[in-house]
Amino acid sequence: MLEALGGYRPGMAPRSIWNGTITFGLVNVPIKLYTATESKTVRFHQVHVRDGSRIEHRRICSKEDKEVPYKEVVKGYEVSEDKYVVLEKDEVKAAAGDRGKVVHIEEFVDAGEIDPVFYEKTYFVGSRDEKDAYRLLHEALKRSEKAGIGRFTFHDREYLVAVRALDDVIALHTVRFHDEVVSGDDLDIDLKGARKPSKQEVQMAAQLIETLQREFDAEDYEDTYRASVLDLIKRKGKGEEIDLVAQEEPDQGDDLMAALKASVDAGKGNGGGKTRGGRKKKKARS
């Protein structure tokens, strides 16, 4: 689990990104936060196509039409056209009150009641100074299968958070507020004219799902697109010509039942994609 702590590698001490305290009731748990995820996205720079030089983005004053040094840049909120209320960094921090250093747990809920759509980002919570209080909170959350709902301010923004036990550590998830989640009722999904699936089709679809069922193991999934992009970069860097393959959507066809039956038969031919216990045998790792 520790290997996931924000860029951590064996032999390297993980770095915390925030120090504070979790409070529930009169109990205080001094903590450190660590990033739990690391982006592996292939990042590109903007370059000038004529000479391959990197493009620079500079801070230009719209009034003076001159570049502005970073030390002269402050935060301003536009209250009317071209009129701003400027806030100093310390003033912005002061608006948070003690939430800039404290995660207040307001209530506890069943962890399974929180729909994944509300989870935004995950952090690992480490102990700081008072290890007994940390272990107490971890054990209580683990046994009760509850999540503590609270708030704190981080990077000039208030976050709703869910604190729960995750294996041998405590996890803190930032949670979206209800008005940040788009309602399905607001989507333009027109099902008028769509026929109701037959009982046989629903049963066949359920059978297909059963055929493809297995236990989830994150290590079974790799970012194949990222690997392809990196391979393309490597090949083009060597001067190879790249053949562009047209992307096409699969053709569903008119016979939905035939597609279902063929899918089920194919799944059975592959052993259902699972072995005893519902897990697919892993390929030997080279």
The Cα 159–Cα 174 span in angstroms is 6
26, with CB counted inside 10 A (0-12, 13-18, 19+), is exposed
State the CB neighbour count (10 A cutoff) for residue 41.
Answer: 9
Do 137 and 108 belong together in one domain? Answer: yes
What is the model's pLDDT at position 267? 77
Do 31 and 105 belong together in one domain? Answer: yes
Do 133 and 12 belong together in one domain? Answer: yes
Question: Is 268 domain-assigned?
Answer: yes
Do 155 and 127 belong together in one domain? Answer: yes
Task: Return the higher-pLDDT residue of 193 and 136.
Answer: 136
Query: What tens digit of pLDDT does each residue of 202-219 get?
Result: 998 998 998 888 898 989
Helix (H, G, I), strand (E, B) or coil at 66: coil
- Domain with 176, as residue range(s), is 2-38+94-180
Question: Is 244 domain-assigned?
Answer: no
Query: What tens digit of pLDDT does each residue of 141-171 get?
Result: 999 999 999 999 888 788 999 999 998 999 9
Question: Is 250 domain-assigned?
Answer: no
The domain tally of the chain equals 2
User: Phi/psi class of residue 193: alpha, beta or left (left: φ > 0; alpha: ψ in -120 to 50)?
Assistant: left
Do 265 and 135 belong together in one domain? Answer: no
State the CB neighbour count (10 A cutoff) for residue 124.
Answer: 24
Would you place residue 12 in the very low, low, confident or very high pLDDT band (cuts 50, 70, 90)?
A: low
CA dihedral 152, 156, 159, 165 (to 10 degrees): -60
The Cα 165–Cα 159 span in angstroms is 19
